[in-house]
Structure 1
């Protein structure tokens, strides 16, 4: 089943509780929370206190995307804060297998995030400790970037690998995910969609209206 997760980096930070309640009512599947350190990516994102606050507001799964250097330092902390899923960048750790195994040992779903120029080969020896793969369809760090067309083939290649190996791994796509990109991502095998300014937070409608329109594309 295809799932939609709003990117809370795009939400109104002065109105978080009301936005989340509206999104809960719209039946989103999970929430995506970008944590950035200003080092791995040239920007600062949401933080530990934000995750704790969101955990108080909703019972939906929280997907914490660690765009940080040496993510192993933060796995336990974000697990304790209420994360249900944690994804770490293959480019940011020297112990990818160990970090993913640690996330799973804490009872969470473990995700590998890979940048647009990163080869799928980095997954070869960690499929057995991976629950989902985050394919970045833009270079990470900022909302509102253009989707990189060559990533469609990457989604398809990963989908083929998962099927060939007989695995149950979700493919999450993150970056300019909306009406112009969802159909082809879906056709190529994506199963989890991060909704930012191109979808859930589009100025074209309310949050509830935007969720409804986006979910219609995922059927």
Structure 2
């Protein structure tokens, strides 16, 4: 089953509650929440208070993507705020194996993200214990960027490793996903698709999600 995970980084923050309710109505699979610290990535987004404030609006699992330095320091706070999946970056954590174990010990799913130029083999030995790998298909920090084509081969390679070591692994792709490339990304092996601008811009949220779903 292919999951759609709208990224609320592209939502209208002046009516965030309404947008969350629209996602709930569309029965999306995950709500993707990008947390940025202005250090690991050149942007600042939102944090724990925002997640707490919207948690009661939906039962859709919160897919919290920590684009922050030293993420292990804040994992429990985000779990307490309502996260169901915690993603930390390979590039931001010096003790990744320990952090993955810590996330799982808190009763939520553990995920590791890789920036576009980061080799998949850096996390090969973690695959058996991970719930998800996030392949960044743009350089993290901003929405609305164009998909980086060489990420196709990374997705395919992660799928090969998942078939060998962890058939339950979710393979998430984030960045530049549109109706024109979503089918190709799914064919390469992705089964969780993050979409920001493609969901929250242009047509209604409901129409945009329907259009994406019709492509795979």
User: Could you tell me the TM-score, scaled by structure 2's length?
Assistant: 0.97
CA RMSD between the two structures? 0.9
- Measured in 2, the distance between the counterparts of 1:20 and 1:70 equals 29
Distance 1:166 1:63, change over 3 A: closer
1:34·1:65 contact (CA, 8 Å) conserved in 2?
yes
Determine the structure 2 residue equivalent to 1:15. Answer: 15
2:127·2:165 contact (CA, 8 Å) conserved in 1?
no
Deviation at 1:166, TM superposition (A): 4.5
Determine the structure 1 residue equivalent to 2:80. Answer: 80
- Measured in 1, the distance between the counterparts of 2:150 and 2:128 equals 27
1:139-178 equivalences in 2 (<5 Å)? 139-178=139-178
Determine the structure 1 residue equivalent to 2:214. Answer: 216
Bigger shift: residues 158-167 or 52-61 = 158-167
3-state SS, counterpart of residue 111 of structure 1: strand
- Measured in 1, the distance between the counterparts of 2:209 and 2:166 equals 32
1:207 aligns with 2:202: no
2:35·2:67 contact (CA, 8 Å) conserved in 1?
yes
1:2·1:192 contact (CA, 8 Å) conserved in 2?
yes
3-state SS, counterpart of residue 59 of structure 1: coil
Q: Deviations over 1:80-116 (max 9, x none)?
A: 0010000000000011011011111111010000000
Bigger shift: residues 140-149 or 209-218 = 209-218
- Measured in 1, the distance between the counterparts of 2:215 and 2:12 equals 25
- Measured in 1, the distance between the counterparts of 2:51 and 2:192 equals 20
- Measured in 1, the distance between the counterparts of 2:27 and 2:37 equals 31
Q: Deviations over 1:104-133 (max 9, x none)?
A: 111101000000000011112212321000
1:114-125 equivalences in 2 (<5 Å)? 114-125=114-125
1:173·1:192 contact (CA, 8 Å) conserved in 2?
yes
Deviation at 1:211, TM superposition (A): 1.0
Count of residues in Structure 1 that have an aligned counterpart in Structure 2: 216
Deviation at 1:202, TM superposition (A): 2.6
Determine the structure 1 residue equivalent to 2:109. Answer: 109
Deviation at 1:213, TM superposition (A): 1.1
- Measured in 1, the distance between the counterparts of 2:145 and 2:126 equals 29
- Measured in 1, the distance between the counterparts of 2:77 and 2:89 equals 17
